[in-house]
């Protein structure tokens, strides 16, 4: 069997400015599929944020972006760069002479990808925010939560990652397709308000249909329906129920031992939902989660256990190991959980998920400032320390006397 060809983004060079979750996630996705990714960390003398756990397959150099020497180094790297990721609030890189106009003038093929929280042209553009705020003003947060309770945000999944980092990568890939036709790069704009709203297209449309026109937490898919919910078991575990279609609901009723009691006919009667939920709650509480797995495994009842990550990490019978975001049969990405050189970075020889290497899908790969950076500068531009650049007080600067773009 011939080995697969290298990952699809092999040969592309990504300059990622260090930031919080969504920017690093975008860079990680690109790196997982073969892009050579160099993170520009803050100079050690500057305020250093919490360690970035989304750093696998990346390298780093720390640069003082407020110094002319640091800015010159970045400008000199731009001709060697395909994609730049800007995770800052609007105007930050422009104030450092590193905005899209300046950099695309140096390299017309550059894809300048920038991600903001609020819309750049919206009323909140100058304000700080986080995932919960972007969900709030996008309308998505109003959909989330139990009936009669306040809106509830699910970690920082929807805005930061589903509505931020992932759409930014999609925009970058679209720009790469365009560049293959035109020969020119472009500015890719993403923000977490629009990204979250786009992810929520279906529930937004459903607000004007019987599927979702009730109050929050009172609809079929938001916790209002007893056959689309979770139930506590005798041992304190939980089972998830998603028996939406009639045939799946019948399988659920059969597994619960509730056949012949008329629940099948009352399924669509919202007036019976409170009684149905009470009965389901009592029945599920009568067996352990493992016992319910024995009842429903292999059936079409749409009833499976709610697994914790500690179980996925330690129980080989579960779908625990993290796999690629999407599998490409001919050009698979790098193993997202392989223990490679430097804690998972530099394992370019491992194109596919393998079973003969240590796994680390539940431990973030922390990248130290400067780790692997000198090797990457050599690979990208043929630079050598002391010739094209120096490292002064831990920060990388363009060597004096080198041409400044």
How many CA atoms within 13 Å lie on the side-chain side of 386? 0
The count of other CB atoms within 10 Å of the CB of residue 58 is 29
Helix ranges (H only) for 285-326 are 289-296, 309-314
Structure tokens at 126: 């100058």
Three-class SS of residue 262? coil
Three-class SS of residue 20? coil
Which residues lie closer than 8 Å to 94 by C-beta, 6 or more apart? none
- Residue pair 14/40 in contact (Cβ under 8 Å)? The answer is no
- Residue pair 27/81 in contact (Cβ under 8 Å)? The answer is no
| Cα separation, 246 vs 74, whole angstroms | 60
∠ Cα 358 359 362 (to 5°): 150
Which residues lie closer than 8 Å to 237 by C-beta, 6 or more apart? 288, 289, 305, 306
Out of 86, 160, 222, 335, the active site residue is: 160
Residue 390 appears among annotated catalytic residues: no
Question: What is the distance of C-alpha 354 from the center of its chain?
Answer: 23
Task: Give the residue numbers marked as catalytic.
Answer: 160
């Amino acid at each position: 069997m011939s080995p697969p060809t290298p990952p699809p983004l092999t040969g592309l060079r990504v300059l990622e400015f260090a930031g919080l979750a969504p920017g690093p996630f975008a860079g990680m996705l690109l790196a997982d599929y073969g892009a050579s990714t160099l993170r520009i960390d803050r100079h050690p003398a500057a305020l250093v944020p919490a360690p970035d756990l989304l750093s696998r397959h990346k390298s780093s150099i720390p640069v003082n972006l407020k110094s002319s020497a640091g800015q010159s180094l970045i400008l000199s790297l731009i001709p060697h760069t395909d994609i730049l990721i800007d995770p800052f609030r609007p105007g930050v890189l422009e104030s450092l002479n590193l905005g899209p106009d300046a950099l695309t003038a140096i390299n017309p093929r550059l894809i300048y990808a920038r991600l903001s929280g609020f819309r750049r042209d919206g009323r909140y553009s100058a304000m700080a925010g986080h995932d919960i705020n972007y969900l709030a003003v996008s309308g998505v947060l109003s959909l989330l939560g139990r009936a009669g309770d306040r809106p509830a945000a699910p970690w920082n999944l929807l805005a930061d990652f589903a509505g931020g980092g992932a759409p930014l990568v999609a925009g970058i890939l679209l720009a790469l397709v365009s560049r293959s036709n035109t020969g020119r790069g472009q500015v890719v704009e993403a923000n977490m308000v629009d990204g979250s709203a786009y992810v929520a297209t279906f529930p937004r449309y459903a607000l004007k249909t019987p599927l979702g026109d009730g109050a929050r937490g009172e609809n079929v898919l938001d916790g209002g329906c007893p056959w689309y919910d979770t139930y506590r078991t005798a041992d304190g575990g939980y089972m998830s129920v998603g028996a939406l279609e009639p045939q799946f609901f019948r399988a659920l009723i059969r597994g619960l031992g509730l056949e012949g009691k008329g629940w099948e006919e009352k399924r669509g009667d919202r007036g019976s939902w409170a009684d149905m939920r009470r009965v389901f709650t009592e029945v599920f509480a009568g067996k352990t989660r493992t016992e319910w797995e024995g009842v429903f495994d292999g059936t079409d009842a749409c009833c499976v256990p709610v697994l914790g990550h500690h179980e996925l990490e330690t129980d080989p019978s579960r779908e625990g190991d993290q796999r690629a975001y999407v599998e490409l049969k001919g050009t698979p990405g790098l193993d997202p959980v392989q223990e490679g050189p430097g804690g998972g970075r530099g394992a370019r020889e491992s194109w596919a998920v393998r079973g003969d290497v240590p796994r680390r899908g539940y431990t973030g790969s922390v990248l130290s400032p400067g780790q692997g950076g000198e090797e990457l500068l050599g690979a990208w531009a043929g630079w050598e320390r002391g010739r094209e650049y120096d490292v002064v007080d831990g920060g990388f600067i363009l060597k004096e006397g080198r041409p400044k773009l």
